[in-house]
Amino acid sequence: MHSTPNLYDYWPYRDRPKIVWPEGKKLAFWIAPNIEFYEFDPPKNPSRGGWPKPAPDVVGYSQRDWGNRVGHWRLMEMMDRYDMRGSISLSTALIDHHPEIIEACVARNWEFFSHGIYNTRYSYGMNEAQERAVIEDSIRSIQSATGQRIRGYLAPALTHTERTFELLGEYDFWYTCDLFQDDQPQPIKTRQGQVISMPYSLEVNDVITYGQQGMDPWRYADVLKRHFDQLLAEGEESGTVMCIPLHAYLVGQPHRIGPFEAALKHIAAHADDVWITTAAEIAGYYRQTYWDQTLNDIQGRGLATGGFGFAHQEDKA
């Protein structure tokens, strides 16, 4: 029999205690542009190749390079029109390769969180010292380049070790985007810290919709609108979270950016009910306001399954 990771407890969506976002908002909305750097000929990892085709993959490399040279700027300027800030899922090596992108995001007061060093270097096979080094480098490099102490983490290429989440708690991260179990934040089980699983809405990630499902741009825009409308309706009962994870080399293409803008325009039209914000702001508010409420509800329903303990606010004082 296979063991379960026991990273969080089963917590039925129905009849949870109510969440209300700041100013009575029903839905917390954030955008996660993944600003990544892919190596032309990455070191080989025995668990996974750096590119789908044999390396060096000139086509794959240049497509992603286009995202940083063209697509990101197009996406950033479009988001400016709706006063929407990004929460950047950053390959920290990009600080050295394209500092002008970092400077442009800092000027807009966008958030940064870590997506590893390169998106072609995976966590598979790392020992503890190596994984710590990646996390510490992310904290140090991003703080030096932006002035921000990062609070979020998305493992490089969604690759993990058995200790990844424990390390996030130890290094005082507030949220992980690596778990996709819910449409509301939820505490995860770590020995230290208060780490939440932040809804990352993987189903509407443009890598999924364009890269795997082959959607046309207007269908993707319609999916985003329907996803938003459903979560906003459910937010009447208790506040929900919607994220749009993006990659400029996909959504920033000239034939795709217009339909995507139509989706953002639809969301912006509901600003009275929507908290348009960043992942760190959602995590900070939730940890301060609803962390204990969630734990008490899970425990009160008899759903807690043990594992590593959670810290209550009074325990942290």
Per-residue pLDDT reduced to its tens digit, 131-160: 999 999 999 999 999 999 999 999 887 888
Q: Average pLDDT in the 226-248 region?
A: 97
On whether the CB atoms of residues 292 and 313 are closer than 8 A, the answer is yes
Query: What number is the average pLDDT over the span 209-225?
Result: 95
Please report which confidence band the pLDDT of residue 46 belongs to, taking 50, 70 and 90 as the band edges: low
User: Which backbone phi and psi does 247 adopt, to 5 degrees?
Assistant: -135, 120
Question: What are the pLDDT digits (tens) for 259-309?
Answer: 999 999 999 999 999 999 999 999 999 999 999 999 999 999 998 887 554
For 140, residues 6+ apart whose C-beta sits below 8 A from its C-beta are: none
The three-class DSSP label of residue 265 is helix
Nearest Cα to Cα of residue 70 among 238, 247, 301, 294: 247
In this prediction the pTM is: 0.92
Over residues 170-174, the mean pLDDT reads: 97
**Helix, strand or coil, per DSSP, at residue 19:** coil
Domains of the chain: 30-205+244-252+275-316 (3.20.20.370)
Q: Which two tokens stand for residue 289?
A: 């306001």
Distance CA 24, CA 274 (A): 9
d(CA 16, CA 234): 12
- Per-residue confidence (pLDDT) for residue 40, from 0 to 100: 72
